Each structure stands twice: as C-alpha cells, then as structure tokens.
Amino acid sequence: MILHFLLLLLTFFFYLLIPSSPFVLSASAPPPLPLPLPLLSLLSLKSSLNDPFSTFKDWDPSPAFSNSGSHDQPVWCSWSGVKCNPITAQVTSLDLSFRNLSGIIPPEIRFLTSLVDLNLSRNYFDGPLQPAIFELTQLRTLDISHNSFNATFPPGVSKLKFLKFFNGYSNDFIGPLPLEFIHLQFLEQLNLGGSYFEGVIPVGYGNVKRLKFLDLAGNALEGTLPPQLGFLTQLEHIEIGYNGFTGKIPVELALLSNLKYLDISNCSLSGLLPEELGNLTKLEVLYFFKNNFVGEIPMSYTKLKALKVLDLSNNLLSGTIPEELASLTELTWLSLIGNNFSGTIPQSIGELPNLNTLLLWDNNFSGILPQKLGSNGKLLTLDVSSNSLTGPLPPNLCHGNKLFKLILFNNMFTNELPRSLVSCTSLSRFRIQNNLLNGTIPYGFGLLRNLTFVDASKNKFTGEIPGDLGYAPMLQYLNISENDFNNELPSNIWSAPRLQIFSASSSKLTGKIPDFVDCNNVYKIELQGNFLNGSIPGDIDRCQKLLSLNLSSNLLTGIIPRELSMLPSINAVDLSHNLLTGTIPSSFENCSTLENFDVSYNLLSGPIPSSGPTFPNLHPSSFSGNDGLCGRIVAKPCPEALATGDVEAGNNNQQHPPKKAAGAIVWIVAAAFGVGLFVLVAGTRCFHASYGRRFNDDREIGPWKLTAFHRLNFTSDDVLECLSMTDKIIGMGSTGTVYKAEMPSGETIAVKKLWGKNKETARRRRGVLAEVEVLGNVRHRNIVRLLGCCSNSKCTMLLYEYMPNGNLDDLLHGINKGDNLVADWVTRYKIALGVAQGICYLHHDCDPVIVHRDLKPSNILLDGEMEARVADFGVAKLIQSDESMSVIAGSYGYIAPEYAYTLQVDEKSDIYSFGVVLMEIISGKRSVESEFGDGHSIVDWVRSKIKNKDRIVDVLDKNVGATCASVREEMMQMLRIALLCTSCNPVERPSMRDVVLMLQGAKPKRKLPAEGGGGGVNGSNVVVVGIDDSIAQKAKLEC
C-alpha cells in the first residue's frame, strides 16, 4: 500500500516537473504524461528489495524529470544491470545477480513486457517465487539460482513459450517437480537441482525434444528412472544423482547419442552396469559412484573414446580392470575406489597420455604398479592405498612436477624410494606407511616448499635420517616410526618452523635427544621404544606448545628437568622404562594441565607430589618399579613426613588439634559466614538498584552514536527509549544481556548490551568499534544480521535482527519444549548444515578470518522458516580488554581441549565446538550432564559408548526416529562427522569447508509432506504440538 502511494506521488511530481506539459488546473491544459511502465517497474524493484551494499545507488530517476536529454535514450537504460533495445528503448535484459539482495520480488515486474533475459541469481531471496515473472512472455533466459525460494513451484511457467534457459539450482523448493516445463518446446536447459523436490521424475520430461541440459540432482526424488529420458535425443548433459532412486539404469539411456556428461551418483541404484551405454560415443564424463552396482566393468565401455572422467567408486563391482581401458586416450580421471576389484593393474594404464588422477584404494589389486605412471608429466594425484600391491614404485611419478598427493600406504611395496621424488616441489601429502620399502630416506624432502604431511612409518628404512627435514618450510606432520635406522636424530630436527607432530617410535634410534632449539610449534613428540641415552635436555621449556611427550622405553639417565613441569600446555608425559634418577620435581603439583604422567620403572627416589589437580588421582602403577619413591599414592610413608607429623600415606595416627585451636576454627568459620552473608545481601540490593536504572544511567553518559550496517527505520534515541521501558530479557551470557525491543516503526529487534568496564580508553573504544564494523559487514543467509551498533564512551550495544523461533538450545533442551516445535531428523539435519555453512563463511570467505569463539546451541538462532542463523560470532573478542585476555573464550562443555594449555583460539577451536553441537543434535542431550560423570562432557560420554559397540545406539535420540533404520544410518553419518570435529588433536579436525561437504553427503533422502495446516517448513517436517496427533506421530516415526 505504501509502495503504491509512493509511486503515485512520484507520478504526480513527474507530471509537475515536465516543462513541455506544465501541471496547471485549467481546462485548456494538455493531459499529463503517464509514468513510463519500465520506470515504474524498476523503481518498484528498487523500493521493495533490501539492498545492503547500495547496488541500486545509480538507479536515479531524477534526470527523467528534467528537460535535458529528453530526446536521448531513457535514463533507466544507463542503470547498472539494465539493457535496452537501442531502437524501441524497451528493457530487454535485467541482471541483478551477486548483489546480496533480499526481500520479495514485487508484482510490478510484469510491466517489463519486452524482457528477454532475467537474472536474479546468487542473492538471498526467499519465500515463494513471484508468479508475475511468468507474465514476461518474451523471456528466453531465466536464472533464479542460488537463492532461498521455497514452497512449491508456482504455476504459470508454461506461459513462457519462448524460454530456452531456466536455472533454479540451489533453492528450497518442495513438492513435486513442476510438470508445466514439458510444454516449453524451445527449452534447451533445465536446472532444478539442489532443492527439496520429491516424488518421481515425470515421464513427460522425456518429451522436451530440444533439451540439451537437465539437472535434477540433490533433491529427494525417488522411484525408478523413467525410460522416456532416453527420448531426449538432443541431450548433452544430465545430472540426476544424490536422490533416492531404486532399481536399475534403464537401457534406453543408450539412445542419447549426443550425451557428453552423465551423472547418476549416490542414488542407491543396483544391478549390472548396462552394456548398451558403450554406444555413447560422445560421452566425456561418467559418474556412477556411491550406488550398489555389481558385476564387472562392461567391455563395451572401452569404446567410449571421448571419455575423460570415469568414476565407479563405492559400488560392489568386481573382476579386473580391462586391458583395453588404456585405449581411452582422453582419460584424465579414473576412480574405482571402494569396490572388490582384483588382479593386476594393466601396465598400459601408466601410458595414458592425459591421466592426472588415479584413485584405486580399498580394493584387492595385486602385482606391481604400472612403471610408466607419471611419465606423461600430468599426474596430480595417485592413491592406491589399502591393496596388496608389490614391487618398486614407478621412477617418474612426478615427471611434470605437478604431483600433489602420493598415497600408497597399506600395501607391500619394496625397494628404495625413487630419487626423483626429492625434486617434486609440488608434493604436499606423502603417505607410504605400512609397506616394505627399504634403503635410506633420500636427502631433499626437507627442501620441498609445499610438503606438509609425511608418513613413512612401518617400513624397512635404514641409515641416516636426512638433516634437511629440519628445514622443511611447510612440514606439519612427520612420522618415521617403526623403521630400522640404527642412527641418531638430526640435531636440527625440531627446527622445522611449522612442525606440530613428530613420531619416531620403535625406530632403533641411538645417541642423545637433540636440544630443543626452535621447538616453537611442536605439540606432540613420540620417541618411545628406542635406544636413546643421555639426559632429557633442560631447554625443553622452549617447546611452549607441547601437549604430549613420550620418551618411554629408552636408556635415558639423569634427572627429570623441572622445566618440563613449567610447560603451559603439557597434558601427557610418559618417561617410563628408563634409567632416570633423582626426585620428581615438586613443581609438578602446580601443573594444572597435566592429565597423564608415567615414570614407572626408573631409579627415582623421594616423595611423590601429593597435591595439585593431577597427582592425587594417578594410579600407583604410574610409579611402579621405583623403590626409592614414597608417598600416599604408593602407600609408603616418607621419612621426612613422619618426622614432621605430616604423613602422606597411612596417616591414621594424626593427632587431634587442641581444643583451643578447635574453638578458634569455629569462630573463624562463623565470622567468615557472617561476612559472606553481609556481602550477599548488600550485593543483591546493589544489583537491583543498578538494574532498575541501567538504561537511565546510559542516557546520562551520552552522547550516543548509531552506526548502521543496514537501512534502519529508527534512531539511537528510539532504542534507548524502548529499552528504558522494557524488561524483556531474552538472553544473558558471558558477553552481555540481550533484550527484545519493538521500535516505533513496529520493527522488532534484539539489542545486546555488552558487558564492560565503566570506563574504557579511547584507544580501546576505537578498537571495539573497528571490530564491530568488521562484524557488521558479514552477509550470509546463515548468519544473524548485525543491523547496527549504538555506542558512547562507556557502553556498546549491538542491534540484531530478531529471530522469532528462539534458539537451538530451547528446541533441544527447553523446559517447555512440549509447547514448542517438535523437530524431526530432517529439520535437525537442516539446522546442522545451516550452522556449518555459516561458520564456513566466517572461516573461509571473510577477510580477515572471523573466529566465532563461543559456538553453542544458545548462539544458534532459528528464523521463521526454522533456518539456522549463527549469532554472537566474534563478540567474545569485543569484551576482552588488555587486562582480560585470560578470560575464558567459550563456554564450558564446548571449549577445545588445547585451549586449556594454549589460551589461544582459532578456526579449529570453532570446529571442536561445532562437533559438540552436532552431538547434542544427535543425542538430544546437553554438552554436560550428571549422567556423564564428574568432569566429563558429552564428548567423553559418546566415546565411551563407541568403545562398546553394542551401546552406540544409546547415543541416538529416539524422539527423532532413531528406531528407523534409514534415519539411524543418517544419524550415524553425522556422528562420524562429530567425532572428527572433536578430535583431541586439532590437526586431525577437518576444515569447516570439508565439514560442509561431508554433511551435504549425509543429506536425508526423504521428507514428509507439509500437511495439517503448517506442518512443513521449507522442505523439512516441523510439527506444531496440538494439531492432529497422527500427523505428529508420522513426523516422528515414519521412515
């Protein structure tokens, strides 16, 4: 209504300002000129949409009202994204892509009657698709991809008789695939992938004769594949994978003689691979991975001479690789991983001229690798791990210096490493463990500038360990355990600047442990089971990030250096089975990070530390084999303690204190209690007094500055006025208090008043506002929008959009959750994926990187469509002043274990917290509950259940369908991801980008219909308690 009023007002001024037709109240005045329809339509778009980056700033209509240029092309033809016909001046093309727009497309778009191309892609449009678009009957191309359009696909698309290109990829449409597309006989490209369409592929889709491109992948489609798809004789590209189809591949697909790209991966299809597909002579890409196909590779596939990519991974295929496959000279990618193939790999495969990726792991291949592999100079990735391959490695694997990953573990390769590998500067990951390789590790690997991961353990390597490994610029992981070196460690082994994990256990190492010079980033050292002698270097305190040290089963002598107990991060120490002497340093009592400590079977003497967080809880076996040790833990009194009356073990003869002392103690306790009571009462009164005037005081310490990151319809005075009259606290956490506030315009927002000191320096204030500005520029569909910031010299308030459905914590654990929404597994999955996508954006797409620092369910809000929105990202950093950097970053139960030792947070800390959130989503339990045991979190509880495989099912929340086999398997997939995210070793946690990919691979394959008056939300099933119980039961239990 307001929009129409504004447009009428604009029309009035348009009449008023046209010089050639003055607006005069006279019978002789000529009739006013109407507002041109293209201008009306474009201005409607501009006024209806949210444009956070002001991309419409050049859409200025004022020149249209002036006399200048009145004979030129209309002003709107020069606007960004707008193209006009040079003769008729009608708008023919409108491109609004990549503008971060949101809101509802106005119906006035129908006035662009000459529009041929419309691109709305890669924005944040949501709600139903505007059906007025289908009145633009001249459209040839329509792109709405990468948005959040939801609900069922609206009727009317059949009106676009001339449409050639339609792209609706990556939206949230639900319901059946739209049938009207079958009437568009000029349609050449149809992309409906990446939504929540369900049901079967309409048979009529086989009648769109001119179709060249069809993408229906990543939906919830089911049933069998219609043979009629084989009638699309012009088809060149088809993607229908990542759905829930059943049955076999119809042989009629062999009729698609023009087909170049075929993807039916991850669909649960079964049966034999159709021989007839060998007739697709133009086929370049074939993806059949993650199905249940059986049998052998059809010999007819060796006729696919144009084939570049063949991926048959993760099926039940068997037999051998046909020798004739080497005749496919265009082949660049061959992946057969996770099948039951056997026999030898044809030597001719190594002669394929364009092969860059060969993935054959987890099969039963034997024999030797093709010795010409890599000779083409194009090999990027080779992974043949977990087979039974033997013989030498090919000599020219990195001939073109492009090899990035070389993964060969769990085979029986022999001979020495090819010398050419030390010149492979492109190499990043090198995994050759558990083979029979021998000889020496050649000098040169440490000079490879991209090498990050080396595992050469469990081989037969001998001789000198190359000293250049200490210079490796990017090396993070080095494992050379279980070899036969019979040599010393290089003196500079700790100097690799990025080295984090070093393992050389059971490798027959001799000599002394090198001094810990430049041991800056190493946090795990494993040297157990060798013949190392001498003392533990006293400069071990240089390893400030060290978490775990294992020097057991060596010949070490001397004392335990006191510096070891002073390491800020040390968590596990094993010095057992050595020849160490002296005492255990008493400073270990103050080591708050230590959890595991073993010095058994040495020559130690003296008292065992008896206080502190660790030693009283250690098992006596940690000190066995040291006859000179004494103390409570080993039940052997120390002579000194007995002499002073401070007995540490068997102390049953301790004398009672004199009565006078006892009386004094009583009076002290009573006085302390009285003081405490006084402080409590006084504090309570102060709190109420300050709470009552919290915002009135804020007014007095102005002036206030409002910094807006979006278009706002209120002022700082509106915010303060509203807060001074509200008691609607909707949240209170470690960073501040959140209030619900309704602005005079009727808009509801959430206001977060940050905790802080009464006075902050100007420098600190500038720092806070700079951080806030970074947060305010974040734009993502799964991130709560920071609308603005109110601040003065003593207070900062953040203004957020209000989320009507509360937060994930309420949904999972709320006291009154019976009155809230009951979310089925699909909804929980959708929330988990949304959170991952939001954090992925913060980690990988923001510059600088934004670390959340306090990810937990109460900071995951839910919008009106039950879409997850991450809140409070980076806020923890804002409240840290220079004096408070030791304040814990995070919440108990969600903090990564290494934080206790490093007091540093990074992306890996967020990933650990996200793993905990996943466990809550899967189990329905809180991160910390009494049933987990004292000091244990949900992570410990889950891992204890996994150790007993029969109890894994106890982890899964039965309220969301864990009793159903298909749902249970999907929950288990997410549980595996959660376990990866909560790895104790940060290096082993995946990146959030990898987490998103893994979660997308675990997408539920079914959705329940949105029935019962609001049961479905955005393709997920959310049932409101109180409607028909049968529907609620269906949401919970149907598989």
pLDDT score at 947: 77
The reply to whether 74 falls in a domain is yes
| CA–CA separation, 800 and 229 (whole Å) | 49
| CA–CA separation, 379 and 332 (whole Å) | 9
The stretch 479-503 carries a mean pLDDT of 94
The CATH number of the domain holding residue 885 is: 1.10.510.10
Q: What is the pLDDT of residues 765-809, one digit of tens each?
A: 555 666 677 677 777 888 888 888 888 777 888 888 888 888 898
One domain for residues 770 and 693: yes
CA atoms within 13 A on the CB side of 354: 12
Q: What is the pLDDT of residues 305-332, one digit of tens each?
A: 999 999 999 999 999 999 999 999 999 9
Element (H, E) at 178: none
Q: pLDDT > 90: what percent of the chain?
A: 54
Tokens of 437: 């390789």
pLDDT score at 957: 87
Q: Is the pLDDT of residue 175 over 60?
A: yes
Tokens of 143: 């792109």
| CA–CA separation, 378 and 315 (whole Å) | 28
Residue 976: how many CB atoms within 10 A of its CB? 12
Which residue has tokens 């369910």? 857
**Residue 34 pLDDT grade (very low, low, confident, very high; cuts 50, 70, 90):** low
The answer to whether 427 touches 399, Cβ cutoff 8 Å, is no
Residues with Cβ within 8 Å of 717's Cβ and at least 6 positions away in sequence, in order, are 704
| CA–CA separation, 845 and 841 (whole Å) | 5
Q: Is the pLDDT of residue 639 over 70?
A: yes
Residues with Cβ within 8 Å of 472's Cβ and at least 6 positions away in sequence, in order, are 445, 446, 447, 448, 451, 478, 496, 498, 499
Looking at the DSSP assignment, which residues form a beta bridge with residue 50? 102
Inter-axis angle of helices 2-17 and 37-48, nearest 10: 140
3-state SS assignment for residue 928: coil
The reply to whether 906 falls in a domain is yes
Overall domain count for the chain = 3
The reply to whether 329 falls in a domain is no
Stated pTM of the model: 0.65
Q: Is the pLDDT of residue 1025 over 70?
A: no
Q: What is the pLDDT of residues 286-309, one digit of tens each?
A: 999 999 999 999 999 999 999 999
Q: Is 636 part of any known ligand binding site?
A: no
| CA–CA separation, 290 and 312 (whole Å) | 8
One domain for residues 876 and 859: yes
One domain for residues 54 and 83: yes
The answer to whether 821 touches 811, Cβ cutoff 8 Å, is yes
Residue 30: how many CB atoms within 10 A of its CB? 10
pLDDT score at 63: 77
**Residue 1017 pLDDT grade (very low, low, confident, very high; cuts 50, 70, 90):** very low
**Residue 640 pLDDT grade (very low, low, confident, very high; cuts 50, 70, 90):** low
Domain that holds residue 866: 805-1039
**Residue 1013 pLDDT grade (very low, low, confident, very high; cuts 50, 70, 90):** very low
The stretch 569-591 carries a mean pLDDT of 92
One domain for residues 771 and 828: no
How far is CA 324 from its chain centroid?
A: 42
Between the alpha carbon of residue 301 and those of residues 22, 254, 256, 589, 632, the distances in Å are 78, 12, 15, 69, 74
Radius of gyration in angstroms for the set of CA atoms belonging to the chain, rounded to a whole number: 35
Q: Is the pLDDT of residue 149 over 70?
A: yes
| CA–CA separation, 38 and 93 (whole Å) | 12
Please say which residue of 199, 228, 252 terminates a domain. 199
| CA–CA separation, 869 and 986 (whole Å) | 25
Residues in the chain: 1039
Element (H, E) at 856: none
Q: What is the pLDDT of residues 876-912, one digit of tens each?
A: 454 443 333 334 456 778 888 877 666 778 899 999 9
pLDDT score at 552: 96
Q: Is the pLDDT of residue 464 over 70?
A: yes
Could you tell me how many helices (H) and strands (E) the chain has, helices first? 17, 55
The reply to whether 643 falls in a domain is no
| CA–CA separation, 104 and 127 (whole Å) | 7
| Average confidence score pLDDT of the chain | 82
| CA–CA separation, 503 and 509 (whole Å) | 12
One domain for residues 790 and 854: no
One domain for residues 789 and 827: no
One domain for residues 746 and 875: no
Per annotation, catalytic residue among 51, 810, 854, 872 = 854
pLDDT score at 1028: 34
Q: What is the pLDDT of residues 706-752, one digit of tens each?
A: 877 777 777 888 888 787 766 677 776 656 788 888 887 778 888 88
Please say which residue of 181, 199, 217 terminates a domain. 199
The reply to whether 437 falls in a domain is no
Inter-axis angle of helices 825-844 and 992-1001, nearest 10: 150
The stretch 699-705 carries a mean pLDDT of 60
Q: What is the pLDDT of residues 665-680, one digit of tens each?
A: 444 444 555 545 444 4
pLDDT score at 774: 67
3-state SS assignment for residue 197: strand
The stretch 207-232 carries a mean pLDDT of 95
pLDDT score at 797: 85
| CA–CA separation, 1007 and 196 (whole Å) | 8
| CA–CA separation, 687 and 677 (whole Å) | 15
| CA–CA separation, 27 and 933 (whole Å) | 91
Q: Is the pLDDT of residue 1035 over 50?
A: no
| CA–CA separation, 135 and 112 (whole Å) | 9
The answer to whether 267 touches 240, Cβ cutoff 8 Å, is yes
Active-site residue 882, yes or no? no
DSSP 961-1022: TTTSHHHHHHHHHHHHHHHHHT-SSGGGSPPHHHHHHHHHHT--S------TTT-EETTEEE
| CA–CA separation, 371 and 369 (whole Å) | 6
Which residue has tokens 């529009």? 115
| CA–CA separation, 642 and 654 (whole Å) | 10
The CATH number of the domain holding residue 133 is: 3.80.10.10
Q: Is the pLDDT of residue 261 over 90?
A: yes
The reply to whether 439 falls in a domain is no
One domain for residues 742 and 852: no
Within 650-785, strands assigned E span: 705-708, 729-732, 736-742, 748-754
Q: Is the pLDDT of residue 31 over 60?
A: no
The reply to whether 531 falls in a domain is no
pLDDT score at 854: 86
pLDDT score at 784: 85
- Report which of residues 704 and 349 the model is more confident about: 349
Q: What is the pLDDT of residues 95-116, one digit of tens each?
A: 999 998 999 999 999 999 999 9
Q: Among 245-259, 355-369, 690-704, which stretch is predicted with the lowest mean pLDDT?
A: 690-704
Looking at the DSSP assignment, which residues form a beta bridge with residue 364? 342
**Beta pairing, strands 340-344 & 364-368:** parallel
Type of residue at 813: H
DSSP 36: P
| CA–CA separation, 103 and 241 (whole Å) | 31
One domain for residues 73 and 101: yes
One domain for residues 788 and 843: no
- Compute φ and ψ for 776, nearest 5 degrees: -70, -20
The answer to whether 11 touches 39, Cβ cutoff 8 Å, is no
Looking at the DSSP assignment, which residues form a beta bridge with residue 167? 143, 191
Q: What is the pLDDT of residues 987-1009, one digit of tens each?
A: 889 999 889 988 988 888 654 33
The reply to whether 717 falls in a domain is yes
Please say which residue of 158, 180, 199 terminates a domain. 199
pLDDT score at 425: 95
Q: pLDDT > 70: what percent of the chain?
A: 81
**Residue 486 pLDDT grade (very low, low, confident, very high; cuts 50, 70, 90):** very high
Inter-axis angle of helices 965-981 and 907-923, nearest 10: 150
Q: For 158-170, b where at least 16 C-beta lie within 10 A, e where not — what string? A: ebbeebbbbbbbb
One domain for residues 798 and 814: no
Residue 155: how many CB atoms within 10 A of its CB? 12
The CATH number of the domain holding residue 687 is: 3.30.200.20
**Beta pairing, strands 117-119 & 91-95:** parallel
One domain for residues 810 and 764: no
pLDDT score at 744: 79
| CA–CA separation, 560 and 555 (whole Å) | 14
| Best-predicted range by mean pLDDT (813-822, 906-915, 956-965) | 906-915
| CA–CA separation, 957 and 829 (whole Å) | 13
